[in-house]
């Protein structure tokens, strides 16, 4: 029978209780029952879920399927039930949630279709096949995990397949919900796990590189946040992104996750911030997350690390904090998701040693401005970056209602 701990469903009691990060132990003590141990009792949850998976594999002409559920700490995806049809020997049993790109995309409300083996690597699928479909498994507002179908033929995930996969996923959701001893979708649990999920998606807020110091902060007091920041590093450049979504709490949280995931992908494909914004805008404009909008700023260093390029969309404030003055530097394009083409522009900046670039969401800037008045000549001082970082966080802490206050700082060494 299923057990429940800390609000998360487990299909198999005992298998997750004493796990180790050592891969050899994971292989010898996997997080699922083997097919030969699944009972023939229709009242057994594992039997019912595997029967649904097997029927789904047959209906979709797939090669294999698997159900992954998020663990109690919302850090990993654990393989719970694979289909018994189409033997797969190289299932990834325990996967880090933050690096499971396809699953994260699905958990924001999307169906992810992967049409070739190269994209399988890009989305970090749990096993190797020519194509796949990944759909979210949710209980009300609470993401439970993901359902994967794998195919031997490339480009197998057409509209008919994805719609049928969603129906199969809904059937599994019903079985999981029916097996719960009591509902897990209460508001406090949903907010708790939603907040943990968002926190796990954020990078290290304090990074020191050879030529740049990076700091980031999101105010998340007692509710889901609609904002995020992100870093990306290669041998040639550093990229920093700040984003804030609009809408109701749940909608904005999902939109922010979608924007963050999209910007991560596009940042790796182009070194022009305006193209990152334009591609992310297209993802929202043509995607299935609804009529949601977002503000975003993307910053990238040049290959030699001497300059910055940035592009901004929507309601953010970009401030160059020099020793003697603060200068507003960005040209702001339309909010993401409001037009089909934003025509975003790049701004190039040359920072001297000790100069700091600050990027603030609209509400963060309002909170900062409340503590000091720029119109009266008050200036932020960035010479001591850690002091500035602490002061800004303190300014935001005075308002416990802030759920979308985000800022990042980049200082030239």
Whether the pLDDT of residue 83 is over 80: the answer is: no
Residue 341 inside a domain? The answer is: yes
Dist. CA 20–CA 8, nearest whole Å: 19
Q: How confident is the model at residue 253 (pLDDT cuts 50, 70, 90)?
A: confident
More confident residue, 5 or 242: 242
User: Distance between CA atoms of 2 and 283, rounded to whole angstroms?
Assistant: 38
Residue 315's CB is within 10 A of a number of other CB atoms, namely 17
Q: Which two tokens stand for residue 96?
A: 């880090």
Bridge partners of 361, per DSSP, are: 316
Looking at the structure, tell me whether residues 168 and 211 fall in a common domain: no
Q: Within this chain, do residues 248 and 385 fall inside the same structural domain, yes or no? A: yes
pLDDT tens for each residue of 301-312: 987 777 899 999
Phi and psi dihedrals of 213, rounded to 5?
A: -110, 130
Residue 131 phi, psi dihedral angles, 5° rounding? -155, 165
Structural domain range at position 46: 3-179
**pLDDT, average across residues 328-340:** 86
Of residues 4 and 89, the one with the higher pLDDT is: 89
Question: Which among 264, 284, 289, 294 is positioned nearest to 276, based on CA atoms?
Answer: 264
Among residues 111, 204, 219, which one has the least CA distance to residue 166? 111
- Does some domain include residue 195? no
Domain membership of residue 381 (yes or no) is yes
Residues 151 and 286 placed together within one structural domain of the fold: no
Please give the tally of structural domains in the chain: 2
164 Cα distance to chain centroid: 25
Q: How many residues does the chain have?
A: 413
User: Could you tell me if 98 and 235 lie in one domain?
Assistant: no
Only one residue has tokens 């939109």, namely 255
Q: What is the mean pLDDT of the chain?
A: 79
Give domain status of residue 192, yes or no: no
CA distance 291 to 337: 7
Claim to verify: residue 112 and residue 208 sit in the same structural domain: no
Q: What is the CATH number of the domain that holds 223?
A: 3.60.40.10
CATH of the domain at 158: 3.30.450.40
Average pLDDT (30-57) is 65
Residue 224 and residue 97 share a domain: no
Query: Who contacts 384 (Cβ-Cβ below 8 Å, separation ≥6)?
Result: none
How many Å apart are CA 82 and CA 90, to the nearest integer? 12
| Nearest by Cα to 34 from 79, 96, 2 | 79
Strand boundaries in 152-305, DSSP class E: 206-208, 212-218, 227-233, 238-245, 294-301
Q: Are 337 and 324 in contact (CB under 8 A)?
A: no
Question: Any idea which of 137-146, 186-195, 351-360 has the lowest mean pLDDT?
Answer: 186-195
Q: Which two tokens stand for residue 387?
A: 């002091």
- 241 lies in the same domain as 305: yes
76 and 154 share one domain? yes
Q: Give the residue among 137, 132, 139 at the shortest CA–CA distance from 167.
A: 137
């Amino acid at each position: 029978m299923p057990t429940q701990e800390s609000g998360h469903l487990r299909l198999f009691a005992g298998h997750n209780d004493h796990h180790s990060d050592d891969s050899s132990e994971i292989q010898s003590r996997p997080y699922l029952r083997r097919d030969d141990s699944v009972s023939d009792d229709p009242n057994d949850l594992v039997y019912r879920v595997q029967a649904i998976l097997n029927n789904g594999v047959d209906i979709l002409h797939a090669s294999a399927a698997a159900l992954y559920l998020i663990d109690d700490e919302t850090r990993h995806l654990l393989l719970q039930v694979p289909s018994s049809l189409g033997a797969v020997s190289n299932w990834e049993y325990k996967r880090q949630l933050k690096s499971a790109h396809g699953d994260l995309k699905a958990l924001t409300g999307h169906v992810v279709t992967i049409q070739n083996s190269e994209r399988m690597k890009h989305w970090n699928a749990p096993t190797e096949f020519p194509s796949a479909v990944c759909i979210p498994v949710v209980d009300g507002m609470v993401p439970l995990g993901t359902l994967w179908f794998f195919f031997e033929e490339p480009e197998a995930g057409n509209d008919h397949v994805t719609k049928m996969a969603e129906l199969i996923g809904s059937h599994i959701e019903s079985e999981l919900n029916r097996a719960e001893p009591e509902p897990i979708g209460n508001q406090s649990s949903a907010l708790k796990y939603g907040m943990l999920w968002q926190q796990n998606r954020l990078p290290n807020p304090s990074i020191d590189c050879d030529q740049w110091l990076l700091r980031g902060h999101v105010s998340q007091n007692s509710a889901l946040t609609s904002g995020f920041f992100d870093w990306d590093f290669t041998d040639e450049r550093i990229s920093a992104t700040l984003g804030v979504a609009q809408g109701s709490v749940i909608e904005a949280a999902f939109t922010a996750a979608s924007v963050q995931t999209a910007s991560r992908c596009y940042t790796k494909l182009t070194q022009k911030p305006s193209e990152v914004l334009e591609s992310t805008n297209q993802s929202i404009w043509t995607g299935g997350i609804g009529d949601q909008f977002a503000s975003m700023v993307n910053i990238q260093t040049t290959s030699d690390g001497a300059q910055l390029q940035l592009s901004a969309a929507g309601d953010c404030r970009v401030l160059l904090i020099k020793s003697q003055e603060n200068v507003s530097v960005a040209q702001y394009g339309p909010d993401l998701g409001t037009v089909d083409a934003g025509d975003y522009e790049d701004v190039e900046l040359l920072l001297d040693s000790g100069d700091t670039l600050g990027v603030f969401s609209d509400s963060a800037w309002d909170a900062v401005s409340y503590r000091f008045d720029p119109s009266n000549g008050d200036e932020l001082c960035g010479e001591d970056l850690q002091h500035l970082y602490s002061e800004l966080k303190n300014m935001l802490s005075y308002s416990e209602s802030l759920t979308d206050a985000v800022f990042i700082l980049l200082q030239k060494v």
